[in-house]
């Protein structure tokens, strides 16, 4: 078994929307596992305008544990907006995106951290995805589309468990506010020359709450943001080619 790398410090941020049945369990698991891989850690719960008690539970956890912080969105702004708020709240040298739905094992962050000496970004790959069949099919189709349009060669672009060198996230201009955020983030990091790899992680059935990623509203928003991102990347490439030609 690969020995986990010792990180100097790690911030884990949890995008959460209506996750009152999961957030306490997820935070407790992270607080138990993170000292095994990092000298310092913090856990940031991003309550994205939840209509349940997610924010209340998170505030209670933060009041009892100085390593837990909470960011509140007064209204639901979308998964991408929650990711952006989480990134901005991180203070440690390494940052981990971990969805707050409880479908990832906290101990699997060690698998990502083990590759940190060689890579700037370590993305999880759900080897056995614990989702309904149609959601898995849609996920594979979306990944193929990302490869064709954006040139991102990851097997599981939307996996909600990723490790980043935090300095590479500083000043990054992210526009997506919905499900497109993962693809935009990885495309921009690739443009910054980040060294990336994927590591197999476990994916667990959801124990509480409901998934929203398959709603028509979420899907329509993702395609709209995909087209906008594709256009921005094309313009950026053309600008770079023009500058190189002039040089």
Q: pLDDT averaged over the chain? A: 85
Taking a C-beta distance cutoff of 8 angstroms, is the pair 102, 130 a contact? no
Domain that holds residue 70: 10-246
What is the rounded end-to-end Cα distance, in angstroms, of the chain? 50
Whether residue 64 lies inside any domain: the answer is yes
Domain total of the chain? 1
Neighbours of 240 (CB within 10 A): 11
* 58-86 confidence digits (pLDDT tens): 999 999 999 999 999 999 999 999 999 99
pLDDT above 60: residue 1: no
Nearest to 160 by CA among 208, 219, 97: 97
Let me know if residue 193 belongs to a domain: yes
Q: Yes or no: say if 95 and 108 are a contact pair by the CB < 8 Å rule.
A: no
Structure-model confidence comparison of residues 29 and 152, the more confident one? 29
Alpha-carbon distance of 39 to 236, in angstroms, equals 39
For residue 214, pLDDT beyond 90 = no
Distance CA 114, CA 116 (A): 6
CA nearest neighbour of 35 among 62, 8, 68, 14: 8
Q: What percent of the chain has pLDDT over 90?
A: 57
| pLDDT surpassing 70 at residue 209 | no
Residue 25 lies in a domain: yes
Residue 137: give its domain's CATH number.
3.90.550.10
Task: Look at residue 99 in the predicted model and tell me its pLDDT.
Answer: 95
């Amino acid at each position: 078994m690969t020995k986990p790398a010792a990180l100097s410090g790690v911030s884990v941020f949890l995008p959460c929307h209506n996750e009152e049945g999961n957030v306490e369990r997820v935070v407790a698991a992270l607080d138990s596992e993170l000292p095994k891989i990092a000298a310092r850690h913090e856990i940031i719960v991003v309550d994205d305008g939840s209509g349940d008690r997610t924010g209340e539970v998170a505030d209670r956890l933060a009041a009892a544990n100085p390593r837990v912080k909470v960011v509140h969105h007064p209204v639901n702004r979308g998964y991408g907006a929650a990711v952006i708020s989480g990134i901005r709240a991180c203070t440690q040298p390494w940052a981990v995106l971990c969805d707050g739905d409880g479908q990832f094992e906290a101990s699997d962050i060690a698998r990502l951290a083990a590759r940190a000496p060689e890579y700037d970004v370590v993305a999880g790959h759900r080897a056995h995805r614990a989702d309904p069949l149609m959601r898995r099919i849609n996920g594979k189709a979306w990944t193929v589309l990302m490869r064709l349009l954006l040139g991102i060669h990851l097997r599981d672009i939307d996996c909600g468990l990723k490790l980043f060198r935090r300095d590479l996230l500083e000043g990054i201009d992210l526009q997506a506010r919905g499900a497109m955020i993962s693809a935009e983030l990885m495309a921009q990091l690739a443009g910054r020359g980040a060294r990336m790899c994927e590591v197999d992680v476990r994916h667990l059935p959801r124990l509480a709450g409901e998934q929203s990623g398959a709603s028509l509203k979420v899907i329509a928003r993702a395609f709209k943001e995909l087209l906008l991102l594709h256009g921005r990347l094309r313009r950026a490439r053309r600008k770079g080619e023009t500058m190189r030609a002039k040089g």
